[in-house]
Structure 1
Amino acid sequence: MNNRIVVIGANAAGAKAAAKARRTDPRAEIVVLDRGSFISYGACGIPYYLSDTVKELKELMSTPVGVVRDRNFFSKVKGVSVRTNTEVTAIDRTRKVVRLREGGGEESELCYHKLVLATGSSPLVPPIDNVTLDDVFTVKSIEDAELLKERAVPGAAACIIGAGLIGLETAEALQGKGMRVTLVEMRDQLLPGVLDPEVAAVVEKQVKLQGVTVLTGCAVTGLDGEGRVQQVIAGGRQIAADLVVLAPGVRPNVALAREAGLAIGVTGAIAVNERQATSDPDILACGDCCETTHLVTGRKVFVPLGSTANKQGRVAGINAAGGAATFAGVIGTSILKVFNVNAGKTGLTESEARGQGFDVETVLSPAPDRAHFYPGAKPILLKLVAERGTGRILGLQAAGEGAVDKRLDAAAAAITFRANAEQLSQLDLAYAPPYSAAMDNLIVAADIMKNKLAGHARGISAREVKRKLEEGDDFILLDVRSPAEHGEIGIAGAKLIPLGALRERLEELPRDKEIVAFCKVSLRGYEAQKILDAAGFADVKFMDGGIMAWPYRFRDQ
């Protein structure tokens, strides 16, 4: 008998593993088992189907040339046998067989030479009262998508529990269907674990402007209704809801692996090595069911993303077919579009870096996404995180109406290859006015980081400035913009001295107080710091990112 490779799971990782195994070994027998009816579909596209951006579900299950990836496709095109509606109930590692039940019938056995686990993940269902009421949904499967779209009625109330990637994308989709949407998040910001608070605030501001009610720092304790959900109980309040979407995250499907005695990692996902091999060398795992290594920290992480699943599936398929391939790990790169805002991160956030014991410096750098004079230029905010002492780039976050993906991708490469701020600042990036400024915002952020690490620039976050104002700290908030800019928009309590007049008006500033200078993006704020330093002022800083990075209320609002 030819080498038989059995793959459990027929979506991103499993389908990729099977297809790559076939290309690696044309003679192997490859069998894919999946308990569902739909296979090899793009679950990440479900929110766009809900919003009608993607018109038909079959588009999520089709190749780029429009061929549906069904059992016949895998058989005829890939040379792979796929059995749908087939549940694997157990793995006998000693005999190298899997027990399975096809179509709810009797159990049978299938032997394997190599086994690939691509069992994926399942939505987290929070331990709250009445979660089994009708019209309570998750967003994971094709069946979920069909039911949710049917119930998304204009004018009805939808409550989404969880403000991560899935929650925000679903909020936009349902709002676009004419529903009244409330987004509830237990943490005190949107996109916790993805963005630091000041970057998440950019997203929250735009989400609210689109009419979504946002409740952060608000824990859901239960649902209420007669048969169907009618209310969400959260933070001591009752929120009307004709439907509820549970989106607090996902958990890896590891029951089969655990029952078979395979090692489960520290993250709760299946432990694998760089070859995607489990603790049994004849069993590999890939995709959302397994953990991987974070390339910045060296620690094991659970980062369930379609991009990672495909890469791991490719490696697992090669190795199952007798090849030799490795997957080094990830740096947690992710991105989303919600309404008119693009946001994402790569590497570590500031909070993650500090939590891992790094001594960090940060930079906030707002700027247009292309030359400021070119039509269509839109704002973006970058937050760069680096290690003090070495200057090593640890992470980048980005948010705004403009293009953030190219900055994240460039930073992802830099972080992967352990570049420092000096090396990042020297990258030869593509430039023409329709695409970027002559000094791209990422390069500017790296230059600011170099200045900070060298002790030339001293920044303070908008969040810290807000705290100082609220607590009545004795300091000077110095606006060095023009009178016209100051009159148009400003921060309450700021003193105006335009940068061009600063040298002649030094006597207006006390030398014994902390001074925080700012402008539109804090380039002039930094120049003000240097002027005051040269004049002998002892405690001068600039506000990182200037007024463009101020996510709070402005004067007179």
Structure 2
Amino acid sequence: MKIIVVGCTHAGTAAILNAKRINPDADITVFERNDNISFLSCGIALYVGGVVKDPQGLFYCSPEKLKELNVNTKMKHDVVSIDIKGKKAVVKNLDTGLEFEETFDKLIITSGSWPIIPRIEGIDMDNILLSKNFNHSNEIIETAKNSKKVVVVGAGYIGVELVEAFREEGKEVVLIDAEDRILSKYLDKDFTDVAEKTFREHGITVAVSEKVMKFEGENGTVKRVITDKNTYEADMVIMSVGFRPNTDIFKGQLDMLPNGAIKVDEYMRTSDKDVMAAGDCCSVYYNPTREYMYIPLATNAVRMGTLAAINLEGDKIKHPGTQGTSGIKIYENNMASTGITEEEAKKKGIDVDIVYAVDNYRPEFMPTYEKVTLKVVFEKESRRIIGAQLNSKADLTQSINTISVCIQNNMTIDELAFIDFFFQPHFNKPWNFLNLAGLNALK
């Protein structure tokens, strides 16, 4: 059986390693546009900010490792077209420009995503950069050496992490987003208010509810960012307004969501029985709302890639769905979220209620203790937990993983009140703050 894998970041790497583990003799060929694999883009801000000194630590696999596993590893090769029914692909060698045809029995699509590049006047100027892969990170670091004023457009996780890194390097930093607050997909206003206040206290300009209208520059280099409300000087601009799935060559051949994300079932199988898909190129089942959605996260990608390999020759293990669980550190604030926010739930017409647990996370007789704020979102009628957010100066973010498990297992807010958690004064109180949220919600 001949297997072709298209793309090799997180999902592709996981699919290949597991396919070889299951069947060491499998005939696998992987095509990747870049000259590297498995780059952790979530580490770009750490690399830019100097926290990570050796960028090689941001890779957990390599083309050499795949070759050792007897994988036909084709770096700097672009799959230009695929005939799924005819089971053949046309591939271009980016070094030589030559094109050739490759056949397959099974196809694993892990083609990932690419940053959205909005059509804005002047966006093609020098020093307007993207933040996605290893080459981007190096370009950002090199350009930043001669930049004093940095504008980041897009206040999702990438944009938010970058502005802190740039500010720590002494840059004048502006964060722009068309939404009325930062991180709006992940956190409700009571949490994003804390993050925005922290940024402003550290000298970062937070320009929310502002839409970029055009970029102005001199000699092809950006100098100013013009929004519908203000003008900001800039030596460098980072665009981080979101991602779109890399699936153009599969359109008309596989079922997709409106944004081009390939639809997969719970076994990672597409609408064609011989084609699997995983990672940022496809949809994933979202447990809080019980629907398929586009949620590009590295955690989703590695799970989906692993399952694509396991289920390649037959349905064996189902994907349990995702909660879109994530975390971020904004200066002294350790924040994490899982599931749907209160605001997003109401936009979707879901009748929800919320409950807070605000407490010191461990006993006050201890030498130190910190306040923790936990917010839990649950359906009013069923009382099923569908989301949660947390913030503390102590790193308690792992607790949001516990809530993620609760959502995945359809637990109610009332059950949360009496879950068995250990007590030890170094770590918590007899009533863990997770229990406290449940207790506060009891009728």
Same fold (TM > 0.5): yes
For the aligned residues, what is the CA RMSD? 1.6
Shift of 1:150: 1.1
- In the alignment, which residue of structure 2 is the partner of 1:42? 40
- Determine what percentage of the aligned residue pairs are the same residue: 30
Spell out the pairing of 1:83-102 with structure 2 (5 A cutoff).
Answer: 83-102=74-93
Using the TM superposition, name which of 36-45 and 138-147 deviates more: 36-45
Summarize the Cα distance change of 1:15–1:232 in structure 2 as closer, same or farther, 3 Å threshold: same
Q: Give the distance between the partners of 1:430 and 1:185, measured in 2 at CA.
A: 42
Summarize the Cα distance change of 1:284–1:365 in structure 2 as closer, same or farther, 3 Å threshold: same
- In the alignment, which residue of structure 2 is the partner of 1:235? 228
Moved over 4 A (4+): none
Q: Decide whether the 8 Å contact of 2:320 with 2:408 is kept in 1.
A: no
SS at match of 1:201: helix
Match of 2:56 among 55, 58, 61: 58
Shift of 1:400: 2.9
Q: Decide whether the 8 Å contact of 2:248 with 2:260 is kept in 1.
A: no
Shift of 1:377: 2.3
Shift of 1:352: 1.9
- In the alignment, which residue of structure 1 is the partner of 2:425? 433
- In the alignment, which residue of structure 1 is the partner of 2:174? 182
SS at match of 1:230: strand
Shift of 1:9: 0.6
Shift of 1:376: 4.1
Shift of 1:269: 0.6
- In the alignment, which residue of structure 2 is the partner of 1:335? 327
- In the alignment, which residue of structure 2 is the partner of 1:445? 437
- In the alignment, which residue of structure 1 is the partner of 2:6? 8
Spell out the pairing of 1:187-336 with structure 2 (5 A cutoff).
Answer: 187-226=179-218, 227-258=220-251, 261-322=253-314, 324-336=316-328
Q: Give the distance between the partners of 1:339 and 1:140, measured in 2 at CA.
A: 23
SS at match of 1:132: coil
Q: Decide whether the 8 Å contact of 1:71 with 1:81 is kept in 2.
A: no
SS at match of 2:364: coil
Using the TM superposition, name which of 172-181 and 146-155 deviates more: 146-155
Q: Give the distance between the partners of 2:239 and 2:360, measured in 1 at CA.
A: 36
- In the alignment, which residue of structure 1 is the partner of 2:378? 386
Shift of 1:83: 0.7
Match of 1:164 among 156, 159, 181: 156
Please tell me the residue identity of whatever aligns with 1:149: I
Q: Give the distance between the partners of 1:265 and 1:189, measured in 2 at CA.
A: 27
Q: Give the distance between the partners of 1:21 and 1:397, measured in 2 at CA.
A: 36
- In the alignment, which residue of structure 1 is the partner of 2:362? 370
Q: Decide whether the 8 Å contact of 1:115 with 1:320 is kept in 2.
A: no
Match of 1:121 among 113, 125, 146: 113
Q: Decide whether the 8 Å contact of 1:24 with 1:321 is kept in 2.
A: no
1:226-275 alpha-carbon deviations (Å, 9 max, x no partner): 1111111113311011100111111111112116x111124531111111
Q: Decide whether the 8 Å contact of 2:245 with 2:259 is kept in 1.
A: no
Summarize the Cα distance change of 1:149–1:229 in structure 2 as closer, same or farther, 3 Å threshold: same
1:422-451 alpha-carbon deviations (Å, 9 max, x no partner): 21011112322221222222211111111x
Instruction: Work out the number of aligned pairs and report it.
Output: 441
Q: Give the distance between the partners of 2:162 and 2:23, measured in 1 at CA.
A: 41
Match of 2:138 among 132, 135, 146: 146
Please tell me the residue identity of whatever aligns with 1:329: G
Q: Answer 1 or 2: which has greater strand percent.
A: 2
Q: Decide whether the 8 Å contact of 2:36 with 2:63 is kept in 1.
A: no
Q: Give the distance between the partners of 1:376 and 1:315, measured in 2 at CA.
A: 44
Q: Give the distance between the partners of 1:220 and 1:360, measured in 2 at CA.
A: 34
Structure 1 unaligned spans of 5+: 63-68, 455-557
Q: Decide whether the 8 Å contact of 2:244 with 2:259 is kept in 1.
A: no
- In the alignment, which residue of structure 1 is the partner of 2:341? 349
Shift of 1:219: 1.2
Query: Is the counterpart of residue 81 in structure 1 residue 81 in structure 2?
Result: no
Given the two structures, how large is their TM-score scaled by the length of structure 1?
A: 0.77
Spell out the pairing of 1:462-473 with structure 2 (5 A cutoff).
Answer: none
Shift of 1:295: 1.1
Query: Is the counterpart of residue 414 in structure 1 residue 412 in structure 2?
Result: no
Q: Give the distance between the partners of 1:376 and 1:47, measured in 2 at CA.
A: 30
Structure 2 unaligned spans of 5+: none
SS at match of 1:344: strand
Q: Give the distance between the partners of 2:259 and 2:343, measured in 1 at CA.
A: 19
Please tell me the residue identity of whatever aligns with 2:243: V
Q: Decide whether the 8 Å contact of 2:356 with 2:437 is kept in 1.
A: yes
Q: Decide whether the 8 Å contact of 2:416 with 2:437 is kept in 1.
A: no
